[in-house]
Structure 1
Amino acid sequence: MVRLIWAVTETLTCDDFLGGKLRVWQPRRGYRAGVDPVLLAASVPAKPGQGVLELGCGVGVASLCLAARVPGLTLTGVEVQADYAALARRNAAENGAAFDVVSADLCALPADLRQRRFDHVIMNPPYFDRGAGTASDDGGRDLALGGGTPLADWLDVGARRVGPKSYLTIIQRIERLPEVLAALSGRLGSIVVLPIAGREGRAPELFLLRARQEGRAAFRMTSALVMHEGVVHQGDQESYTPLVRDILRNGAALPFGD
């Protein structure tokens, strides 16, 4: 386990999400949450009263964005890095969200969590294969981006926590889609994949995937979510498409697979 110690003011920033609806503390250096956990939260079709488990919750951005959109959820997060978990608890308290954050390795969950099933399991696992890359100098960033747990193990743990007819949702890099599909084969069904492209005409770099326990529908891939308008970057001005802007600024839902 990587252990980090931060001074409260010198090495942390407090950043706006959802147009200022959320204020989130996170490390000034190292892994910093951005757009991806917001997209993940927007894609979860949760309803009031349901239970949600986030594996690898970091400082809590995905779960807190989901809580801002859907009231009355029972939210649980698991985070291996104790200082990130502490920030997630602080962020939950300061944003008035009921979010239970457990400091644990996802492959060694506490006994009570191993006995529970959830309506939704969500995850934003490390994007890069640790065996295929170079470690970062920052321990927190290295663990968040490369991780020490194989992607197949993330999906195995997640699939075990999904309740009957309930859902697992993941965001990941497009080149790892075959790994994800292989890990879920025979475990979850009704798989829907939403590719995410930076601009119209560009190959997708990320994808969102939703799978259902006991799902029997055929595999389906939707048209891509395009993040930015125009075919090239036009300086520093904001260029998000209207749907993406609505998600990032207003906490709108991102429907797919419905």
Structure 2
Amino acid sequence: MTESQSALALGEIGEDRLLDGRLILRQPKKGHRAGSDAILLAAALPELGEGPLLDMGAGVGTVGLAAALAQPQLRVVLAERDPELAALARANIARNGLDDRVAALALDIAAPAAAVTEAGLIPASFACVAMNPPFYAARETKASPVPNRRAAHIVEGGLSDWLKAARRLLRPGGRIAIIHRAEALAEILAGLATGFGGLEIQPIHALADRPAVRVLVTAVLNSKKPAALLPAFILNRPEGGFTEASEALHRGYSMLGSRDQ
């Protein structure tokens, strides 16, 4: 039995509330846990109508569930390769009363295209794909001994596999939204160079006088629009605590991006 499985078996699962208490999440007490990255990514998504939205590498479902709560007509698919986390995502769908619009699949989106299609993800069928991919290649960092933290932080096959899968699953005019380490910007731009346009890049800073720690990048499949660099978003005040804008965003009362989407 893995540590992740034993945590579930022993009940080492906590319940947290995000977005001013509106989003209820059951997640492991140890390992990778939902935080600011997921909330920032959900806040960067455009109005999608019925969608559908694909949350790639969904973990316990934070991004997709936050989007579903914010957009009452939106249909969402949560795809997560770890079956234990996928099970928690299904529990979170039910806990938030979203069974009619949100589904979870235990699926590695970097698997061969035929396997992904067989699992129910049809090519060219999604209005938007959101991803908060693992930050590191296996060669770049020492793996955590906690399985779900290791899976969340280390990408198998490279970011390019995730971007190729997103390109295949998006319909023409569909949008991709990515949050990643600021150092990964060049790799993201290279991966979006074929087939995407209308890029919007937003740096995320922990403090105003520090380099960006994250980038939010959105792009549109088959768009010819030029790229745009958006104003930086500052998370924290020098004296501690969120900035006013960051507080509003984390409570679910504001959005990111140009909104010209």
1:223 aligns with 2:231: yes
Residue in 1 that maps onto 2:214: 206
Cα gap change, 1:113 to 1:250, in 2 (>3 Å): closer
- Length-normalised TM-score, structure 1: 0.92
RMSD: 1.7
CA distance in 2, matches of 1:156, 1:32: 26
Correspondence for 2:197 among 180, 184, 189: 189
- What's the offset of the Cα at 1:245? 1.0
Pairs within 5 Å for 1:113-132? 113-132=121-140
CA distance in 2, matches of 1:172, 1:119: 21
CA distance in 2, matches of 1:10, 1:102: 22
Contact residue 135 and residue 142 of structure 1 kept, 8 A? yes
What residue ranges of structure 2 are gaps of 5+ in the alignment? none
- What's the offset of the Cα at 1:195? 0.4
- Partner amino acid, structure 2, of 1:103: A
Residue in 1 that maps onto 2:258: 256
Q: Which is further off, 104-113 or 202-211? A: 104-113
- Partner amino acid, structure 1, of 2:16: D
- What's the offset of the Cα at 1:257? 5.8
CA distance in 1, matches of 2:226, 2:246: 27
Contact residue 192 and residue 257 of structure 1 kept, 8 A? no
Correspondence for 1:101 among 100, 104, 111: 104
Deviation digits for residues 210-238 of structure 1 (CA, Å, limit 9, x no counterpart): 000111111221121011123xx44xxxx
Contact residue 117 and residue 123 of structure 2 kept, 8 A? no
Contact residue 3 and residue 82 of structure 1 kept, 8 A? no
- What's the offset of the Cα at 1:161? 1.2
Q: Secondary structure of the residue that 1:172 maps to in structure 2?
A: strand
Correspondence for 1:167 among 157, 165, 175: 175
Cα gap change, 1:130 to 1:256, in 2 (>3 Å): farther
CA distance in 2, matches of 1:156, 1:102: 19
Contact residue 52 and residue 119 of structure 1 kept, 8 A? yes
- What's the offset of the Cα at 1:9? 6.4
- Partner amino acid, structure 1, of 2:97: G
- Partner amino acid, structure 1, of 2:46: P
Aligned residues: 251
Q: Secondary structure of the residue that 1:88 maps to in structure 2?
A: helix
Cα gap change, 1:140 to 1:217, in 2 (>3 Å): same
Residue in 2 that maps onto 1:154: 162
Residue in 1 that maps onto 2:39: 38
What residue ranges of structure 1 are gaps of 5+ in the alignment? none
Deviation digits for residues 89-133 of structure 1 (CA, Å, limit 9, x no counterpart): 100101011311111111221423133521111000011222111
- Partner amino acid, structure 2, of 1:141: R
Q: Which is further off, 221-230 or 248-257? A: 248-257
Contact residue 79 and residue 105 of structure 2 kept, 8 A? yes
CA distance in 2, matches of 1:26, 1:219: 37
Residue in 1 that maps onto 2:76: 75
Correspondence for 1:244 among 225, 246, 254: 246
CA distance in 1, matches of 2:223, 2:123: 22
Residue in 2 that maps onto 1:4: 4
- Length-normalised TM-score, structure 2: 0.91
